[in-house]
Amino acid sequence: MIRTVFKGSGSALPRRVVTNAELAKTVDTSDDWIRERTGITQRYLAADDETTATLATQAARAALENAGLTIADIDLIVLATATPDSTFPATATKVQHALGGSGFPAFDVAAVCSGFLYALGTADSMIRTGMATNALVIGAETFSRILDWEDRATCVLFGDGAGAFVVGAQDVAEDGGPGILATQLHADGEFADLLYVDGGPSTTGTVGHVRMKGREVFRHAVTNLAQVLRDVLAKAGYAPGDIDWVVPHQANLRILDATARKLGLSMDKVVVTVDQHANTSAASVPLAFDTAWRDGRIAKGDLVMLEAMGGGFTWGASLLRV
């Protein structure tokens, strides 16, 4: 059977690191509060010459190199972002051009923090139905551009960055073998007002700023993530104990901890980068994956659960045999 297999990953971060202490000079907050409530110690923030497209291009180049492929081998780019360079064209087309590609489909998906799971699910479907052979799947964000830097409840939580996977079609045995084994995606627009941006091209004609009722989002995140993880495991015929690594969306260390506890998983199996990167929205899952892939924690043959939850609400999970 044709399955979508992982071929390589890459990531990119802006040059500038901003610590909690540095933020506390301009915002009414403290290093202690941010660490205790979120686990974040620092974040990377984009300079004027660093955009979602430049970070995405850098991550995509690293992923191609890691996969041992070039842009000539790619016939699809799906890019997840809530902070595109422009309202249109899609940031994916900018990345395609910057990499020297042309002709093949390249488009953005908008599912905020779950965006990478949506993008990977889309690429997986297109690969398994024969519409693409090798895809670049990218999560890239510059959330710093849509933060209200006077709202301490949100501006301390986010950072900028990008992560990318190269995935491709491979004929594998029905049972065993590498590839994406199961994916589940969800959305529920009823909860749009708990996490949203108060602007947009068709409403205010502005970009707007991030608004969030953090405590309520937290509660929904733990419940929804634990459920979707169980569902994806059941769909693929595995149990929590079979997972080698969970690569979660990096929103808050306490959410990672509470979700792992609900599933009876040790935190030793959870990849944590929220301390270094903060919440990079759609970039966070591939950024965290790439960190653990390059430092050797995630290895070929490992069973890896990717999961995320974000504005919409949207949420999802994907089980991958690397």
Rounded-to-integer distance, Cα 264 and Cα 201, Å = 44
Rounded-to-integer distance, Cα 11 and Cα 56, Å = 8
Nearest distance from C-beta of residue 251 to ligand UT7, angstroms: 4
Residue number with the smallest Cβ distance to ligand UT7: 214
Nearest distance from C-beta of residue 93 to ligand UT7, angstroms: 26
Largest CA distance in the chain: 57
Select 263 or 309, whichever has its Cβ closest to ligand UT7: 309
Select 51 or 279, whichever has its Cβ closest to ligand UT7: 279
Active-site pick, 113, 134, 209, 277 = 113
Select 75 or 307, whichever has its Cβ closest to ligand UT7: 307
Active-site pick, 20, 134, 252, 279 = 279
Nearest distance from C-beta of residue 81 to ligand UT7, angstroms: 14
Q: Tell me, yes or no, if 155 is annotated catalytic.
A: no
The residues of the shown chain that bind ligand UT7, judged by CB under 6 A, are 29, 33, 37-38, 113, 152-153, 156-157, 214-215, 217-218, 221, 251-252, 255, 279, 309-310
310 Cβ neighbours under 8 A, 6+ residues apart: 111, 112, 113, 114, 115, 195, 249, 251, 281
Select 6 or 44, whichever has its Cβ closest to ligand UT7: 44
Rounded-to-integer distance, Cα 131 and Cα 134, Å = 10
Rounded-to-integer distance, Cα 137 and Cα 132, Å = 12
Active-site pick, 209, 249, 252, 277 = 249
Q: 3, 172 in Cβ contact below 8 A?
A: yes
Rounded-to-integer distance, Cα 307 and Cα 304, Å = 10
Q: Tell me, yes or no, if 113 is annotated catalytic.
A: yes
Nearest distance from C-beta of residue 63 to ligand UT7, angstroms: 23
Select 76 or 309, whichever has its Cβ closest to ligand UT7: 309
CA 38 to chain centre: 18
DSSP sequence for 93-122: HHHHHHTT--SS-EEEE--GGGHHHHHHHH
Nearest in space to 66 (alpha carbons), one of 161, 141, 136? 136
Nearest distance from C-beta of residue 32 to ligand UT7, angstroms: 9
Q: Tell me, yes or no, if 279 is annotated catalytic.
A: yes
Active site residues: 113, 249, 279
